[in-house]
Amino acid sequence: MNKKLLLGMFAAAGMLFATSCSNDELDVVQSGDEAQVTFSLAAEGGIATRAISDGKSANLLYYAIFDANKQLITTINGSTNGLLTKSDAFPNGSKQDAVEVTLAKGQEYTAVFWAQDANCTAYTVTAETDGLKVAVDYDGDNNDETRDAFFKAETFKVTGNTEIDVVLKRPFAQINVGVTEADWEAAVESGIEITESKVVIKNAATSINLLDGTVSGKEEVTYDFATIPAKFATAETLEVDVNRDGTIQDDEKYKYLSMSYILTDNDAERTTLEADGLQFTFSPENGEDIVFDEGLHAVPVQRNWRTNILGKILTGDIQFNIEIDQRFDDNYNLMYPDKDDNSTAVFNVTNATELQTALNNATDGAVIYFTNDITGDVTATQKPNVKVSILGQGYSFKGVITVDGKSATYTTAGLTIKDVVFDAQTISADACINLGKSGDNNTRYTCNVTVENCTFDVDNAVGIKSYTGGDKNLTITGCTATANAHSLVQVAGIDGILIENSTIKSVRGMNFNSSTNVTVDNCLVDVQKYAVRFGASSGGSGETEVYTIKNSSLKSVNVDDDAVIVLRGTADNSTLTIENTTIEGTKQIENTATNATVIIDIDGVPTVNSTTGLATVVAKGYTNINLVDGTYDMTKLTAIAGKTLTFVGAGENTIFDYSSQTYNEYVSGGNGTFVFKNMTIQRSTETFAGMAHTASTSYENCTITGTYYVYETTAKFTDCKFNVTGDFYNCWLYGTSSATYENCEFNCSGKSIYVDGNGETGIDLTTNTCVFNDDGGVENKAAIETGNTYGKRYSLTIINTTVKGFSKTEAKSPAVEGAELGTNVWGNKNYMTKDKLSVTIDGTKVY
């Protein structure tokens, strides 16, 4: 492709940048093959009341453009080997600016942006063939806000002048430490007033390719002593919405002791710092340094997230809580309550006993935090109008959590279990999280259970299991089942299941017995046995259940001959829709459930396996439909009038069956347009049966049995085979104006095509490179016969046609002067005159 680009426009802004326009003019004249592309850049912002992380320090912009193959384009005007730079960007901290570029239409590009503080020397930005790269130099002081920076890679296709909004995010995790006002004052009263802080962080990445977001390198970072944010010329306060009421109260303002940035891995994954991976040192104006590293194990960090460490750190017993928040304008870090009577609805627990006490005392909105690994079993008993959250913060739970629904279906109850690692060697039940208790019907009917960002790594144990059925609304999001696990989920009788954004590498994947309204979305499944299974193996006919799998990857090595997807037993009468999903395995789908429908949608084109599925996708508005082998009762597909539909089969064993129709019984096309490919069309031999009153039909590579009544305005048959036996025609042209047969084969007992209709303007018939075979069962018939004209005109065009057998047509009307009966190729049994019948063979008009 032509990589020469003309300098045009990118609009870039820092954090919370508004969409902007630029008055800069293009320095070249655009041609009709080029278009102006405007990028309005915005970065997710910080706390509105704070100066730290407000994005206003970004005043230097780097950017580069890459082609569709992700190769750097080096010929942009004003660039240095492909790197474009704008100094004095975002003037006066406005967080708005603009640059322009003119690009070739019809091409795909990726624009990559990096915005930083010009005073920061920690970053080296280079445009390389395979990406815009930033190397990070960690030498420097702690609490350096100039290290804040933003990036984004935006892929787009140029179709014309356009403006594209782009949100920039930080490639860093920010790690903060704050202490309570009481802790600060107690330290000051004891003669210790912290003025500087230092931090050591292990295993920080040292470079990032902004094109794809990948990082590389590993380094132990030491940010040296520097003034703490609380002692800045304009003192900074670490504000944390402890009670999550959307406001910052006085007791939610912490003395800001440390702020550091480190480069972390892709923002879709969270990294946990190792046990000795983090150490803070606080230096007082007088006295000895205070080293803080106790309890700092499994500290989570993530790109563009903030990890806040809060508590009583400077004096007495160390009490703190660690959690990360995704946006810098949202915090969920909480202190230990003084008692367990739920006066604050916040609990920090250190063992299973405390966890059980917190669950027992929880009222609506209660949040329970792990502060370390926990071992033991607990029961969460649901209560009406009470929703409770258990936040593991990445800590381990070696035990079983049982959810007790009290056999009451409390639809206003709810339980969220988040950020917990289940990794015991053995547990006391089949599953880590149990909805109800095995053998105890008094614990059934749980409601609104959410399991989020949890890892299940217990040997041969299920992640989440329902024992009793009757549960409602189970959500599993962002979870992982490791290769040690039995499966992620084994449930029965649940109404409403969503499993999303999860990775499943267990022996088995997910099993849904007699459950409905099941959705699996954006999941990666790579298992030994079945990836997804629907229906219990026994228990009678199932209800009409609905399942959806979308945006996922399903893979199985098919151990024990399990298919990747299984429908069985009580999945009878269900409908499974598969959208934008890859399926890998030697046996992909096994469907032994009676009348179960499978609809596979790839790139907007569904594949179905039943008449019900076919009717479903037509009703949903799909226009292109693929079909697997099987028989489809087309007499039931009646809601097609006026539609434009294309049906593509898998071959001759894909059968569209109209054979049960009787005289004048047909499906109305309602002036619609229809295409049929790669299938068998079974018609009856009854008069005027089949499908009628369509504007247009087209058949490609189809086998058509019985008598096809051509009752459409225009009809075309390409590479088709027609089979009929007995005293019946292959095709009877009745209500059509034009019928064309190309490269078709007709097999019959002596009656092939009959032109005898009431088309509005007569009938034009064309056969091109066709073969007519007569097995001799019916005598005195030509391959193509004409009948009553109903006062209309017939035109026969016969090209390169082979006729085997047949004979001159037997007259059915008295001879007419000047009229001819024809030959074995064409027959004029009613002695139509030449003003009504025209016959041309291989370019020569013979009648």
Residue-wise pLDDT for 203-221, tens only, equals 899 999 999 999 999 999 9
Q: Please state the rounded mean pLDDT for residues 782-787.
A: 93
Residue 618 forms part of a structural domain: no
Structure confidence at residue 114 (pLDDT): 94
Residue 409 forms part of a structural domain: yes
Residue-wise pLDDT for 348-376, tens only, equals 898 999 899 889 988 899 999 998 999 99
Reported confidence tier of residue 110, pLDDT bands at 50, 70, 90:
very high
Q: Please state the rounded mean pLDDT for residues 578-599.
A: 89
- Interacting residues of 170 by C-beta distance below 8 A, sequence separation 6+: 43, 44, 148, 149, 150, 151, 261, 303, 304
* Residue that the structure tokens 């299940």 belong to: 456
Residue 354 forms part of a structural domain: yes
Structure confidence at residue 572 (pLDDT): 87
CB 449 within 8 A of CB 473: yes
Give the C-alpha separation, 255 to 253, whole Å. Answer: 7
Give the C-alpha separation, 314 to 257, whole Å. Answer: 10
Last residue of a domain, one of 134, 149, 168: 168
Extract the tokens encoding 519.
Answer: 């959705």
Reported confidence tier of residue 439, pLDDT bands at 50, 70, 90:
confident
367 and 233 housed in the same domain: no
125 and 249 housed in the same domain: no
204 and 252 housed in the same domain: yes
Q: Please state the rounded mean pLDDT for residues 251-278.
A: 79
188 and 313 housed in the same domain: yes
Structure confidence at residue 269 (pLDDT): 53
Element (DSSP H or E) covering residue 199: strand 194-204
Structure confidence at residue 398 (pLDDT): 98
Kindly tell me if the per-residue pLDDT of 161 is higher than 90.
no
240 and 226 housed in the same domain: yes
415 and 462 housed in the same domain: yes
Structure confidence at residue 679 (pLDDT): 97
Question: Please, is 466 exposed, middle or buried when counting C-beta atoms within 10 Å of its C-beta (0-12, 13-18, 19+)?
Answer: buried
CB 204 within 8 A of CB 150: no
* Domain around 286: 172-325
Kindly tell me if the per-residue pLDDT of 59 is higher than 80.
yes
More confident residue, 55 or 838: 838
CATH label of the domain that carries residue 224? 2.60.40
Residue 245 forms part of a structural domain: yes
121 and 76 housed in the same domain: yes
Kindly tell me if the per-residue pLDDT of 813 is higher than 90.
no
Q: Please state the rounded mean pLDDT for residues 45-65.
A: 69
Domain total in the chain? 3
Give the C-alpha separation, 204 to 198, whole Å. Answer: 16
Percent of the chain topping pLDDT 70: 86
Kindly tell me if the per-residue pLDDT of 254 is higher than 70.
yes
CB 290 within 8 A of CB 282: yes
Mean pLDDT rounded to a whole number for the chain: 86
Question: Please, is 704 exposed, middle or buried when counting C-beta atoms within 10 Å of its C-beta (0-12, 13-18, 19+)?
Answer: buried
From residue 589, give the alpha-carbon distance in Å to each of 64, 490, 497, 650, 786. 46, 19, 21, 16, 50
Element (DSSP H or E) covering residue 448: strand 447-452
pTM (global) more than 0.85: no
Q: Please state the rounded mean pLDDT for residues 636-654.
A: 94
| DSSP result, 577-613 | EEES-EEESSS-EEE-STT-EEEEEETTEEEE-SHHH
Residue 763 forms part of a structural domain: no
176 and 163 housed in the same domain: no
CATH label of the domain that carries residue 57? 2.60.40.2190
Reported confidence tier of residue 308, pLDDT bands at 50, 70, 90:
confident
158 and 218 housed in the same domain: no
Residue-wise pLDDT for 511-567, tens only, equals 999 889 999 999 999 999 999 999 887 655 556 789 999 999 999 999 888 999 999
Residue 82 forms part of a structural domain: yes
Last residue of a domain, one of 458, 487, 507: 507
CA dihedral 588, 593, 596, 602 (to 10 degrees): -10
148 and 30 housed in the same domain: yes
CB 86 within 8 A of CB 112: no
- Interacting residues of 426 by C-beta distance below 8 A, sequence separation 6+: 458, 459
164 and 177 housed in the same domain: no
503 and 461 housed in the same domain: yes
Last residue of a domain, one of 325, 360, 388: 325
Kindly tell me if the per-residue pLDDT of 333 is higher than 60.
no
Residue 371 forms part of a structural domain: yes
Residue 250 forms part of a structural domain: yes
